[in-house]
Amino acid sequence: MLPPRTCPDDVVRLATQTLAENRVAVFIVCYNAERHIEEVLGRIPDWVSGKLAEVFVIDDSSQDGTVQRAVAAEWTHAGVPLRIFRTPYNQGYGGNQRLGFLYAIAQDFDIVVLLHGDGQYAPEFLPDILAEYSGPQGADAVYGSRFMTRWGALKGGMPLYKFVGNRILTRAQNRIIGARLSEMHSGYRSYRTAALKKVPFELNSRGFDFDSDIIIQFTAAGLAIREVAIPTFYGDEICRVNGLRYAWACMIAATQYRLMQLEIFYGPKFDIPNRARKYTIKESPTSLHHHVRQLPLAAGSEALDVGGGDGSAVGRAHADRGVRMVSVDQNISVGDAAGEEAKVHPNMARIAADLDGDWPARLGGRRFDAVFALDVLEHMKVPERAARQIFAVMKPGGKLYASTGNIAFWPIRAMLFLGLFNYGRRGILDLTHTRLFTVPSFQRLLRDAGFRIDSARCFGPPIEDLSRGHSGLLRLMDRTSSLLARAWPRMFGYQILIEATRPDSIGTLMDQTFVDRRVPGKEALTAT
């Protein structure tokens, strides 16, 4: 047990303010803690205990008398409930936290502070934790850190191997996920319940790496985590953490999160809706978008951009050169959802329409010289129908430029070879895709809709975009992947671009063949 502590006046003032302005609960996780639980409850400062909304203990199906000792504990704060709960079966450290945080949210607490029933984290430092929530710029989460005081962890009895392991693991995790915490592995934690509602913590690991998962989630959501210095204390509590297994799980979670940012991996627990995700235009000189922006469309011609949103960079590039562009999409920010045309550029208009519905009717019978369908057909519920609709709004002889991801791209093949398959938020395995294509199957889709395929070209991934022009190595990789995509498109192509011509429809051919096309002097109609 730590020596008695006198709390600094400014900490008392700020903590008192937090307690006055918020419903604060203390949540104690327990497993086989009968020797310590009464002491932990008794060490919460009296002036804090009397201002809490509740103290609740969740015993994770202990095999000793933890619950009985907690029930028997002397609790003198009549106005503050002390509730003791027991799980129906063991949930694990993370599973216990999940239950406690959901309970805190259900009870409308504003702040929940996590303590351990074995006394490893000092209840005497609760005021320091609470002080960080005071005022309008208060934290979303506050953690106790044993490493904010130089060598404090070693002086407090932390074994050297744990000290070194903590330092290495914390540094690696910070670097991977983009955080700057002094310690990732303290169990002294607290949260605003409003912040907890913003992350899917209920999907986190039920093991000790729950704490790692929730740090990643708060970092991804842009929520403010603050740290306060706490003492290190090692008593006779039993450590139940398998260090190597725990470190491996933490690194796996951090790596998965980073791969999600590169759209290589998808895991729902790290899919944090903290910002709108829009379709991004690729800027690399070797990219599909750069190529399509340079296409020589004639000034004065009319082109349709299907799925072009508010007017993509591709459409704007051609509009700037005198092409009359129309963008049709369901994801727009101005205009009329019933199809009212909205001008966004002297040569650009946008029309709102459901691309899975009868969107050609919104065009008023207009026919176009060219159509762009860039990375959109794979999102349609019925791509075959969408391709026929595009055919119907084009003039005979018009050009279609359609693109999609190549599911046969070599990394996807490699994953399948290893027995792996995972969707992402963007890229070839976008979660919103309804159909996946190879070069031949994408050609077949358009050919079956009536188009004549002029060319099929593949582009490598826009690696240079990752560097924003600052990395010579990434530029070299970008150029190399582009050459490979041209040399072996079905294997190294990341995106497929089909250029196709809209020939005369069967109806037009019928008219040209059978209307006023009789052979002179004959009554019978013959094909000519």
**Tens of pLDDT along 187-222?**
999 999 999 999 999 999 999 999 999 999 999 999
Nearest to 102 by CA among 93, 92, 112: 112
Nearest to 452 by CA among 385, 411, 517, 396: 396
Distance of CA 399 to the CA centre of its chain: 36
- What's the one-letter identity of residue 366? R
Asked if 228 and 128 touch (Cβ cutoff 8 Å), the reply is yes
Residue 102 pLDDT exceeds 60: yes
What is the pLDDT, as a whole number, of residue 469?
Answer: 53
H helix and E strand count, the chain: 20, 15
What is the pLDDT, as a whole number, of residue 335?
Answer: 47
Cα 330 from Cα 307, distance rounded (Å): 8
For the structural domain made of 9-261, what CATH number should be given?
3.90.550.10
What is the pLDDT, as a whole number, of residue 120?
Answer: 86
Q: What are phi and psi of 318, to 5 degrees?
A: -75, -35
What is the pLDDT, as a whole number, of residue 527?
Answer: 45
331-338 average pLDDT score: 51
266-279 average pLDDT score: 71
194 or 476, which is more confident? Answer: 194
Q: How do residues 411-443 score in pLDDT, each as one tens digit?
A: 899 989 989 888 888 788 888 899 999 999 999
E strands in 388-466: 394-405, 452-459
Q: How do residues 480-521 score in pLDDT, each as one tens digit?
A: 999 999 999 999 999 999 999 999 887 777 777 776 556 566
Residue 167 pLDDT exceeds 90: yes
What is the pLDDT, as a whole number, of residue 464?
Answer: 74
Q: What is the mean pLDDT of the chain?
A: 88
For the structural domain made of 292-509, what CATH number should be given?
3.40.50.150
Q: What residues does each domain of the chain span?
A: 9-261, 292-509
Q: How confident is the model at residue 461 (pLDDT cuts 50, 70, 90)?
A: confident
What is the pLDDT, as a whole number, of residue 344?
Answer: 62
**Percent with pLDDT over 90 in the chain:** 65
23 or 236, which is more confident? Answer: 23
Cα 445 from Cα 451, distance rounded (Å): 9
Asked if 409 and 492 touch (Cβ cutoff 8 Å), the reply is yes
What is the pLDDT, as a whole number, of residue 314?
Answer: 87
Cα 281 from Cα 475, distance rounded (Å): 17
Determine the length of the chain: 528
Cα 454 from Cα 249, distance rounded (Å): 51
Residue 365 pLDDT exceeds 90: yes
Q: How do residues 276-319 score in pLDDT, each as one tens digit?
A: 455 556 667 888 888 999 999 999 999 999 987 755 778 889 99
Q: What is the pTM of this model?
A: 0.73
Candidate from 53-67, 260-274, 357-371 with smallest mean pLDDT: 260-274
